Structure 1
């Protein structure tokens, strides 16, 4: 199935590269995948469905990378993820969720803060719509999905740029 989405270069921020002692918070990271869509694309729910159907979405975020035929997405069984599970949220709420995830780490390095600002917070500020993947519940967790203590997923839809961005902030 052709989703009409074309992958572009993304970004990966591994907190381990910013700390002296990885046990502090070196097992956290942010993965950013970007895909381009055509101007005549469908509504936001249609774009979410296309993203869910795209092979770049088939990532368990546990070191295996994208598996084109993989049955998992993050800690969840892929088959249980639908566009209706994504709730629209404000830029402020998305920023608050991410800050609450980062802030318990204490003082983050200037370099990490700059990278988070450039790669994550600037993208949030420049998008038309933000969707947050709700908690799916225990029945949706795959066989080893509890490897993540935290798993935050945002989908940014920027119609003027023709870009959909998947941001996953998690740990392992």
Structure 2
């Protein structure tokens, strides 16, 4: 199996920015995990390696990564496979994330700069981008409906041998 090596992790927490005059922060955040991989690995193999990776076992509800975990985001882990991801145009991924970020109104300039340098830059430089499709409520784990919004993208930059997992949600 392809080995992915965790390179960086950044949590962009909207609450850490001054929303005065911008509407509510909406308890939103984006978790950005970047992984290095050997050159020449096809996207589907990379997606499968990510799903099998320990860092993927994260419920994104405050518990962090659980090496023995059975949850990923709102879903039981067993339902999230490489085939659950669909190719998406980089521009469409950016449009969705920008719309989600500004759904309560404008966002502070400091947050826009942070999103641009982390989230948007990862998608902009990607040679391919994938979106976790909605697997349906029947695939939710026991408390899987806790997020009102949950967006997950995988940006793969084959030129730099970098895969970035982006999860945007709310508390």
1:33 matches 2:13: no
Q: Distance in 2 between matches of 1:35 and 1:110?
A: 28
User: 1:3, 1:54 within 8 Å by CA — same for their partners in 2?
Assistant: no
Q: Distance in 2 between matches of 1:122 and 1:45?
A: 22
**Aligned-residue RMSD, C-alpha:** 1.4
Q: Distance in 2 between matches of 1:3 and 1:171?
A: 32
Q: Distance in 2 between matches of 1:114 and 1:105?
A: 18
Select the structure that is richer in helix: 1
Aligned residue runs from structure 1 range 27-66, under 5 A: 27-41=27-41, 43-66=42-65
The aligned residue for residue 105 of structure 1 is 104
Q: Distance in 2 between matches of 1:124 and 1:82?
A: 21
> TM (normalized to structure 1)?
0.94
Structure 2 residues without counterparts, runs of 5 or longer: none
> TM (normalized to structure 2)?
0.94
Aligned residue runs from structure 1 range 80-95, under 5 A: 80-95=79-94
How far apart are 1:40 and its partner, in Å? Answer: 3.8
The aligned residue for residue 14 of structure 1 is 13
How far apart are 1:3 and its partner, in Å? Answer: 4.4
The aligned residue for residue 142 of structure 1 is 141
SS in 1 for 2:12: strand
Could you list the structure 1 runs, at least 4 aligned residues long, displaced by more than 3 angstroms after superposition: none
Q: Distance in 2 between matches of 1:7 and 1:102?
A: 26
Number of corresponding residues: 169
How far apart are 1:78 and its partner, in Å? Answer: 0.3
Structure 1 residues without counterparts, runs of 5 or longer: none
